[in-house]
Structure 1
Amino acid sequence: MAMENSPAPHFLFVVSGIQGHINPARRLAARLMASTPSARVTFSTAVSAHRLLFPSLASPDEEAIDDAGVTYTPHSDGYDDGFKPEVHGTDNYKARNRAVGSESLSAVVAGLAERGRPVTCMVYTFLVVWVPEVARVLGIPAAIYWIQPAAVLAVYYHYFHGHDAVLASCANDPGNDAVVRLPGMPPLRSDELPSAVSITSPEHRHYLLLDMLRDLFTELDELKPKVLVNTFDALEPDALRAVPELEVLAVGPVVPDDEASLSNTDMFWRDDANACMDWLDTKPARSVVYVSFGTLLSMSKRQKEEMRCGLEATGRPYLWVARQGAGEGGATLDRGGEGHRQGMVVEWCDQMKVLSHPAVGCFVTHCGWNSALESITRGVPMVAVPQWTDQPTVAWLVEACMGAGVRARLDGEGVVERGELQRCVELIMADGDGGVRAQAERWRERAEEAVGIGGSSERNLRAFASGAVTRAR
């Protein structure tokens, strides 16, 4: 009888309002709900992001439910109209975010309990660093969902545990020839490290990121939550075991189950995706170069021109997703027209549909981890053009560890010149079924095995959910 009256397991996902965090968290939430039919899942992100996800709501803090049965309940992060560094500054961001977020999330948890839906486990992403303390105060078990590679987790962990000086020295090597050796990890060159470890001054424009990571790893040391990582054992066997102090579980690749998945929603743009797909339908198999640098990066005017000339020089059709007006000096790109004789330029497309289309032959990518995993699961080889954060390490995984892509080299201004882009595209596109493309297909199969029934990631997720069910009882 006690078992019958015990609450159902209820997972509360708490996620920062960035699309690159929201999408993989939504995907894991949906997968967790599918694997545990008795569970409830509630998803909470900042009010500003909730409004973008559900623009038709009568009020910005109104609940919503998607077709998978996941409930969306926002919390305030102190910046309900969105955080704008140029307006709000960064000096008080951490304190305000922690104070307002903690109070608001506690109210969300209390409200759920009052409605007979007590939270039994919190799952959070790494920029909402105040969540584990809220969970501790409320007596709720917590787990962190690490949405970057396990290798990046390991590098950061060692950075905050005595290897900060050697990592910073290596990362700032002007010739990119320095190598660092960390416990449990293969040697990493300076241009294979996440950019945050290069920061040595509070005056650096991205110092806030490093400061928040420091807070995060302090909480990990104290509270020792489970760490769910969006990767799989075959891809990162060393990195997943490089931090024995933490319980690290691979649960990925967590990507949309199909091209139309709700968990692949873009918050910021809606375009006529059919135009892209109709255009791709007219192209031969593996003939199209797909180019996208994600939703955050702004491309300089010079980089846009080098990219355009490099793509044109290949003589191959290309589909380029380019943010308009975001580059240096407001640089824009015509959507088609004379400047793009064999290409199509759009502001948005359904990336999973594009990567799944047989006409796509390679993916020129900034190496955001979500994009890389989507490409891996579709067997599409990559031209890696990393910029910052975890992207240099992702490029290392793609090229050196997987052999499923090639890395473009940047010039002294951080730009991929047209000849270098052409060289990298041709290495993949002229390769036929051998080499890089064959490796990409092998990794597609390994990724599929990991999340399939009985696969390593599927077992890990099921074990995590089972443990949460047991605690709920």
Structure 2
Amino acid sequence: MESQPQELNEIHVIVIPYPIQGHINPMLQFSKQLASRGLKVTLATTPAFSSKFVHSEQSNSISIETISDGSTLTETANTKNVDAYIKRFDLIAPRSLTQLIETKIQLGHNIKCIIYDSSIPWALDVARQFGVFGASFFTQSCLVSLIFYQVYEGVLRVPIEGPWRGVFTNDTPLLIEAREMPSFVYEVGLYPALEKLVINQFTNYGQADWRFFNTFDHLECEVINWMQSICTVKTIGPCIPSKYLDNRIPDDNDYGLSLFQPETDACIQWLDARQSGSVVYISMGSMASLGDKQMEEIARALLKSNKFFLWVVRASEENKIPPNFKEETSEKGLIVNWCPQLEVLSHPALGCFVTHCGWNSILEAISLGVPMVAFPQWTDQPTNAKCVTDLWKIGVKVRKNEGGLVTREEIELCILEVMEGDKSNEIKSNAKKWKNLAKETMEKGGSTSRNIEEFVAKLQN
């Protein structure tokens, strides 16, 4: 009798992220960690993303498969009609995922587990249909997850009006004001489908075989301990490329997915010509869209600060840059449509990161020891910003005026405070501390490394 091909004997897991780049990247990185430990991994995503993956040697053990969401090649969950997209995704994607798994099984693949984005709890029903394990993956912080969980359970009533202390003790005081909570529980009704999406992460929370969180124990110890009192959770973060943490995976210096083309050579060559710690880096991520007036205030603040700056302005936002600003600042600044963020954050010339406080950007900055100016926009970002400033003390947060605008004076003040102000040394020292702790958790024997290895061992037994 002929033996089966080696790949059919391998333990196989299916990974399905929500089709947003900020959700795909950490789950792809976790997939690489699993593949490096001997598992066969298939990442299932939608047509808009499946064609965007960049082949690299370390991803050979990860196959990319397309599942249908009823969309065209260019439609994603980022589109304006997000409510319609979510409804269509929840209707079509379960059937398509089921068909993919049926095909794999018919071909003899040894599928043991479906790892699914917590935003798509129906994937656990698919796992049960095939008699395999189901593992929920949370792409936001554990603190934000706790808030959404308490809203789901009715412990917190929305819209939240007063301050919330949560699970923090007198040793770690953290009073979170209403405006510092995730926008979905503070400004209820603006995005009903998204609100339902984040709250319903917990519909079958206790039924999953594993609950993975993209964070690490030291960073959110009290919140993690509280969540452990409900159900066992496993921290498996920071989920960023291996080069910047444990070097376990050869040549893993990028996620391998990007919707935008980074201007790598221009950015790195420009940074190479700057002194250590002299550059302000500004990026509002892949989704945030600032108003014309706010963009002008950022531009004028950069001009007034007299600091070197690297500013990421997506092509769709370029028309909001003040006229002649590029020419006025050509000796001080570089404006690009997209950049290789990890390479920028790890560059010695960098001194400060002005960020929208998306969770992936926060973890990248923490892992690379970069001080921050928190400039949150919506979703979980206000809560992440609160942690940056008041819990981890690795940055300062901008304040809006009565009209909801962050003025040029405020932005300049925050940049200078982080770069050279009275708090600068403390902020930089704390950033270095968290960088070391992030690296420690991923290295052999660290808590994240142990959690991943225990999961793999369970599947292999």
Q: TM-score, normalised by structure 2?
A: 0.89
- Measured against aligned partners, the alpha-carbon deviations of 1:385-430 in whole angstroms (never above 9, x if no partner) come to 0111111111111111111111111223433211111111111111
Deviation at 1:215, TM superposition (A): 3.0
Q: CA RMSD in A?
A: 2.6
1:211 aligns with 196
Amino acid at match of 1:77: D
Q: Distance in 1 between matches of 2:77 and 2:446?
A: 43
Partner of 2:460: 469
Name 1:347's counterpart in structure 2: 337
The one-letter code matched in structure 2 to 1:193 is M
Q: Which is worse superposed, 5-14 or 146-155?
A: 5-14
Following superposition, the deviation at residue 10 of structure 1 comes to 1.2
State the partner residue of 2:30. 28
Query: Equivalent residue for 2:389?
Result: 399
Residues 117 and 412 of structure 1: CA distance in aligned 2, closer, same or farther (over 3 Å): farther
Deviates more, 1:330-339 or 1:115-124: 330-339
Q: Of 233, 249, 259, which residue of structure 2 is paired with 1:268?
A: 259
CA spacing shift, 1:227–1:85, aligned 2, 3 Å: closer
**Cross-structure match for 2:234:** 249
Relative to structure 1, the CA distance from residue 139 to residue 320 in structure 2 (aligned partners, 3 Å threshold; closer, same or farther) is same
Unaligned 5+ segments in structure 1 are 57-63, 171-177
The 5 A counterparts of 1:12-161 are 12-34=14-36, 36-37=37-38, 39-53=39-53, 67-83=59-75, 89=81, 92-161=84-153
Q: Shift in Å at residue 210 of structure 1? A: 1.2
- What is the CA-CA distance between 1:8 and the residue it aligns to? 2.9
Contact 1:125 / 1:147 at 8 angstroms: preserved in 2? yes
Tell me what 2:352 maps to.
Answer: 362
| AA partner of residue 44 (structure 1) | A
Q: Is the 8 A contact 1:451 1:458 kept in 2?
A: yes
Aligned equivalents of 1:7, 1:85: Cα separation in 2: 36
Determine if the alignment matches structure 1 residue 373 to structure 2 residue 363. yes
Which residue of the partner structure matches residue 331 of structure 1?
A: 320
Aligned match for 2:154, one of 162, 168, 171: 162
Shift of 1:304: 0.9
Q: Is the 8 A contact 1:224 1:246 kept in 2?
A: no
SS in 1 for 2:52: helix
- Equivalent residue, structure 1, for 2:276: 285
Q: In structure 1, give the amino acid aligned to 2:320.
A: A
Contact 1:77-1:101 within 8 A present in 2 as well: yes
Change (3 A) 1:224 1:26: closer
Q: Equivalent pairs: percent with the same residue?
A: 30
Gaps of 5+ in 2: 1-5, 245-250
Contact 2:355–2:374 (8 Å) recurs in 1: yes
Deviation at 1:282, TM superposition (A): 0.9
What does the per-residue CA deviation read over 1:249-287, in whole Å, with 9 as the maximum and x for residues that have no partner?
111111112277364235222243111111111111000
Matched length: 443
CA shift, 1:291, in A, is 0.6
CA contact (8 A) 1:19 1:267 kept: yes
Contact 2:78/2:287 (<8 A) preserved: no
* Structure 1 match to 2:224: 240
Partner SS state of residue 131, structure 1:
helix
| 1:290/1:320 contact within 8 Å kept | yes
* Deviation readout 1:6-59 (Å, 9 max, x if unpaired): 95321111012211111111111101211x22x1111111122112336x9xxx
Residues 216 and 254 from structure 1, CA distance in 2 versus in 1: closer, same or farther, beyond 3 angstroms? same
